[in-house]
Chains A and B, each alone.
Chain A
Amino acid sequence: MGLEDTMSYHVNERGYFGTFGGAYIPEMLYPNVEELREKYLVIMSDPKFQEEYQQLLRDYVGRPSPLYFAGRLSKKYGANIFLKREDLNHTGAHKINNTVGQILLAERLGKKRIIAETGAGQHGVATATVCALKGIECVVYMGAVDIERQAPNVARMKMMGATVIPATSGSQTLKDATNEALRDWINNPVDTHYIIGSVVGPHPYPDMVARFQAIISEETKWQLKEKTGKENPDYVMACVGGGSNAIGMFYHFLNDEDVKLIAVEAAGKGVDSGESAATTYLGTEGVLHGSRSIVMQTPDGQVIEPYSISAGLDYPGIGPQHAHLHTSKRALYVSVTDDEALNAGLELTRLEGIIPAIESAHAFAYLDKMKFKGDETVVVCLSGRGDKDLANYMNYFGF
Chain B
Amino acid sequence: MNRINQLFERKKENILSIYFTAGYPGLNSTIDIAEALEKAGADFLEIGIPYSDPLADGPVIQNSSLKSIENGMTLKVLFEQLKDLRKRVSIPVLLMGYVNPILQYGVEKFCASCKEVGIDGLIAPDLPMYEYEELYINCFRGSNLSNVFLITPQTSEERIRKIDELTNGFIYLLSSSSTTGKDVSLSDVTENYFSRIKAMQLKNPTMIGFGISDNKSFSKATEYANGAIVGTAFVKLLGEDNYMERIPEFVSSLKGKQEFA
Contact = CB atoms under 8 A, between A and B. Distances in A.
Contacts of B144: none
A189 interface: yes
Contacts of A302: 50-52, 69, 101
A353 B103 CA distance: 49
B126 interface: yes
A27 B155 contact: yes
Contact of A24 (B51, B99, B155, B174): B99
Given A27-B125, A190-B154, A286 B174 contact: no
A26 B62 contact: no
A28 B126 contact: no
A301 interface: yes
B20 to A, nearest CB: 19
Interface centre among B50, B53, B152, B178, by most chain A C-beta atoms within 10 angstroms, is B53
A190 B76 CA distance: 39
Given A175-B53, A301-B51, A302-B69, A288 B152 contact: no
Contacts of A290: 126
A25 B154 CA distance: 15
Contact of A189 (B56, B105, B154): B154
Interface in B47-62: 50-53, 55-56, 58, 62
The prevalent SS among residues of B at the interface is: loop
Interface centre among B75, B151, B174, B179, by most chain A C-beta atoms within 10 angstroms, is B179
Contacts of B126: 24-26, 287, 290
A286 B103 CA distance: 7
Nearest to A32: B154
Interface in A15-41: 22-28, 30-31
Interface centre among A28, A30, A183, by most chain B C-beta atoms within 10 angstroms, is A28
Given A187-B182, A302-B52, A303-B53, A27 B103 contact: no
A122 to B, nearest CB: 23
Across the A-B interface, give the 9 residue pairs with the lowest CB-CB distance, nearest first. Answer: A301-B104, A301-B101, A26-B125, A189-B177, A300-B74, A27-B150, A31-B154, A302-B52, A301-B100
Given A27-B174, A31-B156, 15 more contacts: A24-B99, A26-B55, A26-B56, A179-B53, A187-B178, A189-B152, A286-B103, A286-B104, A287-B100, A287-B126, A299-B104, A301-B101, A301-B105, A302-B51, A302-B101
